[in-house]
Structure 1
Amino acid sequence: MTTNKNNHLTTSWGAPVGDNQNSMTAGSRGPTLIQDVHLLEKLAHFNRERVPERVVHAKGAGAHGYFEVTNDLSAYTKADFLSAVGKRTPMFIRFSTVAGELGSSDTVRDPRGFAVKFYTEEGNYDLVGNNTPVFFIRDAIKFPDFIHTQKRHPQTHLKNPNAVWDFWSLSPESLHQVTILMSDRGIPATLRHMHGFGSHTFKWVNAEGKAVWVKYHFKTEQGVRNLDVELAAKLAGENPDYHTEDLFNAIASGDFPSWKLCVQIMPVEDADTYRFDPFDVTKVWSQKDYPLIELGRMVLDRNPDNYFAEVEQATFSPGSFVPGIEASPDKMLQGRLFAYADAHRYRVGANHNALPINRPKAETNHYQRDGQMRFDGNGGGAVYYEPNSYGGPTESPAHRTAPFEISGTADSVAYDHHDHYTQAGDLYRLMSEDERGRLVRNIVGAMKPVERDEIKLRQIAHFYKADPEYGTGVAEGLGLPVPKDE
């Protein structure tokens, strides 16, 4: 934007404004004139100041920072930004709640989005995860239905616990994530005091073309802290932007939050023999089997200058890969590769990657043209198709996606593994007695409004299969019978 040396107010087309306090009217009491183009422009722009909020992850906070490599893992990936110890890459992160609207409270019980954009020299790499290592479902075809249950009833416009627990009770793969959500970790104390995860399995490929499977873990260096449910409810009423405010103030005061990034690495061949399907996002890999390996450190050291331009218009897609990092057959990830970028094309526009917050530091060369809000040179008079004989950009075979074997019949099939209870039960048994008590009380409180005992009993049976004490505690809290052993 050019600075007006005389500090004159202007219209959006640069003309000076003579009066910004009074509309132009036909006489002192006459109707407003349509020729007052400054008034019309102000009102018309005001009507369009909000882009549609995100369907999920609408409420969020963001910050700039950097990622620094602390351990050389170039034997596993050729990604340039991970190529050398000490290499720093600028990045932007957006934290968010999942289910609430843009004006909802920060301190609700909900997973937190943990979306990181690395501005690498080979293009942007987006790692779009949560503060939990697993998710409620494992196939993208169920995602719209799941999110509908977290939103408002179409008639009452109220949150609907009947839909929430009906869906979960009919989707036992959700049990692991439900247990995390209803535990102390369901309400982080601040955005600085929680871990982050890539959640999905991804593929790393090294310079020789050898691949491994990988999972990402961001470990907060502030320590994990969570909110008591009563304090969280109090803050929701008194300061619904508590997490947003805390993050901004911490960075503004020089208390820069940081996370250590670690990875789990699995040899490609292990995927066929591991006791859980490694691509099932409702499951974790045991750290005894695949220990955490330090990769680097993320530090947030700069607040956005403008919330809308940077946080609201920031767009992330798990399909924004760079050479050396690729997708896995994870069914949820496969759906997100399309859905996220498509949401941005709808919400922000086809040219969302040209906005300053999303624009790569690397040079872009492509044949995309036109579309709403094309505010750069639009390619000028350069060649606009490919192949061509005018010297336009061409593909580089060295950067082809690494091949992988597939087999089987094209069909709508589920994951082979249907043990939804072992890992949820293991998590329950890892908790202290006090933590287990709070978990059960949180679940009982959340399930009491459910109108049909059939739904409650079906969900109790899942808890019981994970651990008999777990299911018994919920059943007794709801005054319902304990399921019988099958």
Structure 2
Amino acid sequence: MTWSRLTTTAGAPVADNQNSLSAGPRGPLLLQDWRLLEKLAHQNRERIPERVVHAKGWGAHGQFTVTHDISAYTCASLFSGVGKTTPLIARFSTVAGELGAADAERDVRGFALKFYTDEGNWDLVGNNTPVFFVRDPLKFPDFIRTQKRHPRTNLRSATAMWDFWSLTPESLHQVTILMSDRGLPQTPMHMNGYGSHTYRFWNAADECSWVKFHFKTRQGHKHFTNEEASYIVGQSRETYQEALFGAIEAGAFPRWTLFIQIMSEAQARACAFNPFDVTKVWPHADFPLIEVGEMELNRNADNYFAEIEQAAFSPSNFVPGIGASPDKMLQARIFSYADAHRYRLGTHYESLPVNRPRSPVRVYHKDGAMNFVGQQTGVVDAYYEPNSFGGPAESPEFREPPMPIEGDAAHWDQRGDDDYYSQPRALFALFDEGERARLFSNIAAAMAGVPTEIVERQLAHFDSVDPAYGSGVRAALKRD
């Protein structure tokens, strides 16, 4: 081979000597090669911290359409008339797994919605279950640690899970749901969504009531067994993403019907249980479902990172007519979610396109990293409040009616509220023989390797729910 056979990309012959190459491949790189440096520096920063909880998620755009008038309960504009539509984005997720975890794992599923209303963003950040494991926010970080990796083994710990649950008996309701058929939905489309917490409504006359939100799937419930899920994971770890993305691309748009439950302030005061306890449901016989509208997901994200990974949902995003309740877990989430977004995405995460309201934005946020939209008050000299330069002030009609508070401000007094078993008992009574058998088998499988004293402590709780519950799990443990 001779060098004279080589040509440049333009086809011109290369000089017949090796020295002619020294200006290209044999020369050094310089720091002035700004294209290379910019590209490498950007690549180093392509990843952002994953969510501590709900790290693995799937989402899409859609809309909400009002089908029934609920103006008697709320003045929120998105519910203001039958036929009104509001754009939204939804994100579904697992709770415990990391960003690369398999989709089809037995776990609670997140069900987060951001409604881009004409009064600002309303975020409803719930789950596919109507209750949660704990009711005291002081316990939440500890609970999540039991779902994550052990500091020494770097493996998930069944011992930590059952130790915590057996020492936290208010978790029984959620544990029973998790270990039942509902713990492994086949796809995001085949599960319900719940606000879980109690929220507050007020109408145009400032009449207030308490409310719970239920999104019932129109696709029907479909669930995996443990064996089916193991097989599916062996084929693909991305089953939820494939199913949700594929359905929307094919035009099979998933839908949910929104229902609400309403409880008056007088009913709440007379309620036999604490209506703000997120480990309990409101019985439908006493507080029937009221139909509100339909949610449809009909557009996939064009860029997953920009529109789904950077989507930030927070219970602190309310609109007039919808507010918080004394639910202690909700009160803590109002702070912790927005604070997590400030850490993960940056101080001005709400200015990102996916998080920015579609209505006019007028806030006094100032400076900080990644402030790419300026002051947002619309008036140059109005960078503080109050001011004399016409900066925005809260309108009287946007103010929430005063919320009556009863009882002492304190952490949960577990000794004074120890009805851990009645609602799990009512749920267990609804299961047929097949559902019970699968519940027992799932629990037994999840207890593999757990120390006997922890298993026995948990079995005592199952006995207190229903003797058949405890004996069924014992029989399944012997089979395993």
Same fold flag (TM > 0.5): yes
How large is the Cα RMSD of the aligned pairs?
1.6
| Contact 1:193 1:220 (8 Å CA) reproduced | yes
Report the residue type matching 2:447 in the other structure. M
Q: 1:221 aligns with which of 208, 218, 224?
A: 218
The residue type paired with residue 306 of structure 2 is: A
Displacement of 1:61 in angstroms is 0.6
**Displacement, 1:396?**
1.4
Q: Does 1:136 align with 2:120?
A: no
The answer to whether 1:69 aligns with 2:62 is: no
How far apart are the structure 2 equivalents of 1:198 and 1:212?
Answer: 16
Asked whether 1:249 is paired with 2:246, we answer yes
After alignment, is 259-268 or 368-377 more displaced? Answer: 368-377
For the Cα contact (< 8 Å) 1:353–1:359, is it kept in 2?
yes
**Distance in 1 of aligned mates of 2:292 and 2:209:** 15
Matched-pair contact (CA < 8 Å) for 2:375–2:383:
no
1:292 to 289, 292, 302: 289
Q: Does 1:168 align with 2:165?
A: yes
Report the secondary structure of 2:88's partner residue.
strand
Distance (whole Å) between structure 2 residues aligned to residue 409 and residue 417 of structure 1: 14
Structure 1 position 26, deviation (Å): 8.0
Contact kept, 8 Å, 2:364 with 2:375, in 1: the verdict is: no
3-state SS, counterpart of residue 92 of structure 2:
strand
1:192 partnered with 2:186: no
Q: Describe the shift of the 1:27–1:82 C-alpha distance in structure 2 as closer, same or farther (beyond 3 A).
A: same
User: 1:397 offset after TM fit, Å?
Assistant: 2.2
The answer for the alignment partner of 1:386 in structure 2 is 385
Greater displacement, 380-389 / 260-269 = 380-389
Q: In 2, distance between residues paired with 1:455 and 1:183?
A: 21
* 373-382 or 303-312, larger mean C-alpha shift: 373-382
Q: How far off is 1:336 after superposition?
A: 0.3
1:410 CA drift (Å): 4.0
Matches within 5 A, 1:276-355: 276-355=273-352
Closer, same or farther in 2 for the Cα pair 1:385/1:260, shift >3 Å? same
What is the match of residue 440 of structure 2? Answer: 440
Residue 466 of structure 2 aligns with which residue? 467
Alignment of 1:78-93 (within 5 A): 78-93=75-90
Taking a change above 3 Å as real, the CA distance of residues 54 and 255 of structure 1, as seen in their structure-2 partners, is same
Q: Distance in 1 between matches of 2:462 and 2:44?
A: 49
- Contiguous gaps of at least 5 residues in structure 2: 1-21
Q: Given the alignment of the two structures, is residue 151 of structure 1 paired with residue 148 of structure 2, yes or no? A: yes
Which residue number corresponds to residue 420 of structure 2?
420
Equivalent runs, 1:260-279 vs 2, <5 Å: 260-279=257-276
- Deviation track 1:406-454 (CA, whole Å, cap 9, x = no partner) reads 244444342643111111111111111011000000000000221x211
Change (3 A) 1:466 1:102: same
Select between 404-413 and 437-446 the one with higher mean Cα deviation: 404-413
Q: Is the contact between residue 134 and residue 176 of structure 1 (CA under 8 Å) also seen in structure 2?
A: yes
SS in 1 for 2:38: helix
| Corresponding residue of 2:227 | 230
Distance 2:420 2:410 in 1: 23
For residue 31 of structure 1, report the CA deviation from its aligned partner: 4.4
TM-score, normalization: structure 1?
A: 0.91
Aligned residue pairs: how many?
456
Show the counterpart of 2:10.
none
Partners of 1:122 and 1:178 in 2: how far apart? 38
Q: Distance in 2 between matches of 1:60 and 1:154?
A: 25
Greater Cα shift, 414-423 or 122-131? 414-423
- Which residue, out of 44, 48, 51, partners 2:45? 48
Between stretches 269-278 and 204-213, larger displacement belongs to: 269-278
- 1:117-150: per-residue Cα shift (whole Å, max 9, x none)? 0000000000000000000001111110000000
The percent identity for this pair of structures is: 59
Say if 2:98 is the partner of 1:98: no
TM-aligned CA deviation for residue 30 of structure 1: 4.9
Instruction: Tell me the CA shift for residue 32 of structure 1.
Output: 2.9
